[in-house]
Amino acid sequence: QVQLVQSGAEVRKPGASVKVSCKASGYSFSGSGISWVRQAPGQGLEWMGWISAYNGNIKYGENFQGRVTMTTDTSTSTAYMELRSLRSDDTAMYYCARCPGISGGRADYWGQGTLVTVSS
């Protein structure tokens, strides 16, 4: 069965960086893409960006351009999301989600989420 397992909760100080991992199993990792979505406490869903595990194409959300880097390691079926220059309003649950196909789209399987807390 398709599973996405994310790394554990992180605490960072303002100005620091965080890197979250998302290990996929149960499907052909290289045949799909991964979107990253975050959710601040009590708020809605915010799309951060998408990366194709097929050819490495990337699309970042406008709100995150210049501050986020998404990568994949096809040898371990793992996707990574690094967010830099953290601020207190980056405190959120961060989700990875599979987008089947090679050009993005709806997210049919989700990771369990990684809570990132930014606090001095």
Partner 1 sequence: EIVLTQSPGTLSLSPGEWATLSCRASQTIRNNFVAWYQQKPGQAPRLLIDDASNRATGTPDRFSGSGSGTDFTLTITRLEPEDFAVYYCQQYGTSPALTFGGGTRVEIK
Tell me which residues in 70-99 interact with partner 1 (CB under 8 A). Answer: 95, 97, 99
For partner 1, the closer of residues 76 and 103 by Cβ is 103
Taking contact as CB under 8 A, which single stretch among the options 22-30, 45-53, 66-74, 84-92 is the one that binds partner 1? 45-53
3 is an interface residue for partner 1 by CB under 8 A:
no
For partner 1, the closer of residues 62 and 89 by Cβ is 62
Give the burial string for 89-115 (b: 16+ CB within 10 Å, else e).
ebbbbbbbbbbbeeebeebebbbebbb
117 is an interface residue for partner 1 by CB under 8 A:
no
Give the span between the Cα atoms of 75 and 102, in whole angstroms. Answer: 18
Give the span between the Cα atoms of 112 and 52, in whole angstroms. Answer: 20
What tokens were used for 13?
């100080």
Among positions 12, 54, 61, 68, the unique one binding partner 1 when judged by CB under 8 A: 61
For partner 1, the closer of residues 73 and 108 by Cβ is 108
For partner 1, the closer of residues 80 and 95 by Cβ is 95
Report which of 18, 45, 44 is spatially closest to residue 117, judged by C-alpha positions. 18
Report which of 38, 42, 46, 35 is spatially closest to residue 18, judged by C-alpha positions. 38
Instruction: Give residues in contact with partner 1 (CB under 8 A).
Output: 33, 35, 37, 44-47, 50, 52, 57, 59, 61-62, 95, 97, 99, 103-113
